[in-house]
A and B are shown apart, each in its own frame.
Chain A
Amino acid sequence: MEKNIANNGLDKSKEFILEFFKDAAISHKNGVLTIDGVQKSFEDFIGKKAPYKLVFDIKTHSKVKDSELIMQGSYFLLSIRDYLMDRGQTSLLKINIRPDLTDLSKNFPKGSKIIEVKQDGFDFFSEFYFLSVYQYLNEKKQSINNILVKNKEVLDLDTAKLKFQTGNKEEIPVIDLNDSYKVAKDCIKNNVVKEIKPMKLLLKEKLEKELKRVKEHYIKQIKEKDEEVETCERKIKLLQSKLRHTYYERDMDILEMQIRESKERLEKLKKKGYKERLKKEELFHVTDETEKHSLSIKNNLINATVFYYPLYKILISSKGKKRSVKYDAVFSRVA
């Protein structure tokens, strides 16, 4: 049954589901993938007992009661991701490599002869997988990068070309990867700088637009208030001048009342400290927009792997003299 399903051109999510539940009992009928006999630890984690009825389109989902909709980023897939989060964090791999004697000969003077090739201890390098999650506005992006480090240096090596098997921890000493981790972390930071470039551009453009709106708004607000103060002051002067030139008591009373009112208004405007208040408000909104358009980055180490491999002692004879050298077959280096 599984084969049939696989042949039907499954999408990546479906393939992943089948791989994840490879030890479970899987059946497929009418667009519903039923999964039973699931590990208890997964049932406990997800808080729901198997069987799980998995469907891959909304239409089927609405028809099948208690079904789980599987699509890119759906809740069930998120749960599997979270389940695996604390698992698979470390690995130990042994590279099976023997020196290529033809290649090796090129390292020695003409006429030299390899007498003996003998394994002599192990060396290792490490690999770090980082998950970088970028969150801004209502967007979330992520990338996974792996960095290889040996002797505090980042390696440019294609591990896919190497043959390796699960390692035996008894063959190697205790390994402290702290220094290598620091190197890898610095390297990932450089990667991050490149990756966030388009995000930064987008955010900057958006933020600048918003900040322009806020700033212009407050420039205008302050200008309007300034004008209001000026108008009020002009009005007081005008009324005072009128008062000086009037002879009728009734008009004087009215003018005095108007002056009093305008002065009160002016005092109120100035007392409130409108400039400071508006500047404070502006700062609040600038900070608010800056926060809103901030970019948050999470760089999490999700796996550290130790690759170890045999070193070789090569006994060579050249011009009647014998000497031995150490050979690193992974990097084709003679020590």
Chain B
Amino acid sequence: MKTVNSVKISIDKPLKIVEYLSKDDLVILEKIKNRHFEDRKILDLKLKSEEAAKQSEIKELISYPLIKKNLAFNLPHQQEGALKILRDLDGRVLLADEVGLGKTITAGMVLKECIVRGFVRRVLILTPPSLVNQWKEEMSTKFDIDLKEVSKETEWEHTDIAIASIDKVKNFNTSTNEFKHSKAHEIYWDIIIIDEAHKLKDKNTFRWKFVDRLQKKRLLLLTATPFQNDMIELYNLLALLRRGHLGTISEFRSNFLVEGDERKPLNPAELKRKLSEVMIRRRKDEVRGIRYMKRIPSIKSITLNWMEKRAYDGVADLLLLHYYDFNGDPISTNLAMYSILPKITSSSKSSIEFLENLMNNPKYHPTTQKLAKELIWQFKNITQDTKIDSLIELVNEINKKDKGTKILIYTKHPITLKYISDILGKQKFKITEFKGGLTNDEKTRRIKEFKEETQILISTETGAEGLNFQFCSNLINYDLPWNPMAVEQRIGRLDRIGQTKDISVYNLATKGTMEEHVVDLIINKMCCIGLVMGELPIILFNMGLDSSGKSGSSKFEEKIMNAFLSSKNNLHRFESEINKVGSEINKGIEEYKQTKKYTSQLLDAH
């Protein structure tokens, strides 16, 4: 490529014209001086090549053939959307397709096209923290675009194609009265893409202000629900795209809102017309090529034998009644509990691991350690593991129904993974293990192995993050994370475009323990109720349950743990607490459905 060494700027008011001069011109003159001459025929060919490579107006995506091989499916609405954004909307748009239609892919197509056509040099993608890696991976594998994550403020200047967590960069330093990442505001970005842009609904937040101060030529805001509570949120989003497009806030209220009800449009047809100038929205029922498969939940109840029940109750009692520090003071259990409880319901192996750690750690009181020792003895003397037996039974049942069908088994704990793998291996099943810490090459090898050779993949969630297993339609949750977002991620590995079968979600839950109720809540009342992939996180976000609580665990998880603590191992009380959480969630789901309906009524009505 030619390098540009000098830039001459002339202002032809109000139009700005920038003329670039190339230093390569001088190289050519120097060649003449040095009597270096080439064949004239090359010039003829070169002139023809310029003609052949000439891109005129945007009629098609010239970059599509490059990325086509990387996309599992050709979904015309994604190409059409990208074309419309570039051709008709000058690259400033609110992409509000319904959840599940692949807004990321459409945005990636826009970006790739801009890069190939030479429109952009500086690119910025802002996403929620949990999606940074997913974006990096998708852009790299599908579009061959290498995004560099910016986390330090010194990194902006030298990063042309940047991605950042919006939560990190929006930090405002009140002592200097500046954004910590104000360097980003000094750059003129050729294109900015913001995922989950509904988080920019409030113009009084630092998040909104950070985005508003970015200088940009093209801006893509991605969200399926541009407003949730009222239409002022939509106004605030559009203010980022085109200031004044809907007038001032007072004009917007008087022209488009029913007085006293900020949810009702006064003049829906006119509002829709205004929106169509800056927004693209497609519904699932109007696009071709996507099949939505059902999630079929199934809970396999496990009845513990008396030895297992005694050990399990013993651990619960220890945690609630005899959990002392070295001085004999009860340990404020909340924080510890969040990580311990799921362990003891996972497997006897992970319970023993926890108890052994407790027994060998001098920071605990001898009474606690003595109890732990006793419980280890109890666990080790359990002759029959009902949970693993039930898993074997379940795997055999699935295999009997559909011989050789692929099965993905999830567990939270690596120690449980190894345990299951050993036991199932002895049952002559071909197994692939998948856990955190694998290199990319090793991951690819194991995915291939699972696809082509083995029947069962046993994985922890950190291992399979961001991977696609749409060729498998059976998922077994050996233990369940008490965070519905994590469960959604697990199911999401299978529930993707390209899945051709309904997805069976099997869950093992121990009868007469709190696990039974938690599994029922997360699986039957949240993850398998007919929502489309990606909707549950939005619901939890709306309810303020998507972020981390004081313990570092998700706020939802905290709710469950608090229910356990306040029930003091009384199952009836726990059940009633869980039912309360269930009702709250149900309310959130209903509100979301209403919002969706409301969004649809406003945006999709003909």
Interface, chain A (partner B; CB < 8 A): 12-13, 16, 19-20, 61-62, 66, 68-69, 71-75, 77-78, 80-82, 84-85, 87-93, 129, 131, 135, 137-142, 144, 166-167, 169, 174-178, 181, 185, 196, 200, 203-204, 207-208, 211, 213-214, 216-218, 220-221, 224, 281, 284-285, 287-288, 290-306
Contacts and interface: CB of A to CB of B under 8 A. Distances in A.
Contacts of B53: 73, 77-78, 80-81
A167 B36 CA distance: 12
Interface stretch (B245-253, B259-267, B361-369, B573-581): B245-253
Contact of A200 (B15, B87, B116): B15
B39 A72 contact: no
Contacts of A92: 37
A166 B39 contact: yes
Nearest to B42: A88
A90 B31 contact: yes
B542 to A, nearest CB: 30
Interface string B85-117: 011001100000000000000000000001011
B390 interface: no
Contact of A81 (B49, B215, B243, B248): B49
A129 B243 contact: no
Contact of A142 (B1, B15, B50): B50
Contacts of B50: 81, 131, 142, 144, 302
Interface string B19-54: 111101101110111011111111101111111111
A276 B64 CA distance: 47
Interface string B67-80: 01100001000000
Contact of B18 (A16, A287, A295): A295
B2 A85 contact: yes
Given A12-B52, A74-B62, A81-B52, A90 B14 contact: no
B14 A20 contact: no
A177 B29 contact: yes
Given A208-B14, A296-B20, 9 more contacts: A16-B51, A68-B65, A87-B38, A88-B43, A140-B119, A169-B37, A217-B247, A224-B248, A302-B46
A75 B116 contact: yes
B530 interface: no
B43 A91 contact: yes
B248 A220 contact: yes
A208 to B, nearest CB: 7
Nearest to B116: A75
Nearest to B7: A296
A301 B17 contact: no
Which 7 A-B pairs have CB atoms at the shortest separation, nearest pair first?
Answer: A217-B244, A88-B42, A73-B55, A81-B53, A294-B16, A301-B25, A92-B37
Contacts of B87: 138
B16 A84 contact: no
A89 B38 contact: yes
Contacts of B25: 181, 185, 300-301
Given A75-B116, A181-B25, A224-B250, A217 B243 contact: yes
B4 interface: yes
Contacts of B116: 75, 78
B572 interface: no
B445 interface: no
Contacts, number: 226
Interface of B: 1-2, 4, 12, 14-22, 24-25, 27-29, 31-33, 35-43, 45-58, 60, 62-63, 65-66, 68-69, 74, 86-87, 90-91, 114, 116-119, 188, 213, 215-217, 242-245, 247-248, 250-251
A294 B91 contact: no
Contacts of A72: 52, 54-56
Contacts of A211: 14
A287 B45 CA distance: 42
B177 to A, nearest CB: 13
Contacts of B215: 284, 287-288, 291
A90 B28 contact: yes
Contacts of A167: 37
A89 B51 contact: no
B15 to A, nearest CB: 5
A213 B277 CA distance: 14
Given A135-B119, A138-B86, A203-B15, A301 B33 contact: no
Contacts of A288: 215-216
Nearest to B92: A292
A197 to B, nearest CB: 11
A13 B43 contact: no
24 contacts: A16-B51, A62-B68, A71-B62, A73-B53, A73-B62, A88-B45, A89-B38, A91-B38, A138-B91, A140-B118, A166-B39, A174-B33, A177-B29, A181-B29, A203-B15, A290-B16, A291-B188, A296-B20, A297-B18, A297-B20, A298-B4, A302-B46, A303-B28, A304-B31
A176 to B, nearest CB: 6
B95 to A, nearest CB: 16
B243 to A, nearest CB: 5
A185 B6 CA distance: 15
Given A81-B50, A129-B47, A75 B19 contact: no
Contacts of B119: 135, 138, 140
A66 B42 CA distance: 29
B4 A175 contact: no
A82 B116 CA distance: 12
Given A135-B119, A291-B16, A300-B24, A80 B49 contact: yes
A135 B118 contact: yes
Interface centre among B52, B62, B74, B217 (most CB of A within 10 A): B52
Contact of B22 (A208, A293, A298): A298
A175 B16 CA distance: 38
A303 B29 contact: no
Nearest to B66: A75
A89 to B, nearest CB: 5
B86 A306 contact: no
Interface centre among B40, B45, B86 (most CB of A within 10 A): B40
Nearest to B20: A298
A82 B50 CA distance: 9
A301 B251 contact: no
Contacts of B62: 71, 73-75, 78
A213 B245 contact: yes
A298 B5 CA distance: 12
Contacts of B114: 138
A138 B62 CA distance: 14
B65 A87 contact: no
Contact of A20 (B16, B49, B56, B250): B49
Contacts of B12: 200
A297 B32 contact: no
Nearest to B244: A217
Contacts of B52: 12-13, 16, 72-73, 77, 80-81
A66 B65 CA distance: 10
A299 B15 contact: no
Given A88-B42, A295-B18, A299-B19, A16 B65 contact: no
A174 B35 CA distance: 7
B66 A89 contact: no
B45 A295 contact: no
Given A81-B49, A144-B47, A306 B32 contact: yes
Contacts of A74: 62, 65
A84 B22 contact: no
Contacts of A298: 4, 19-20, 22
Contacts of A175: 32-33
Given A166-B39, A301-B25, A73 B54 contact: yes
A16 B16 contact: no
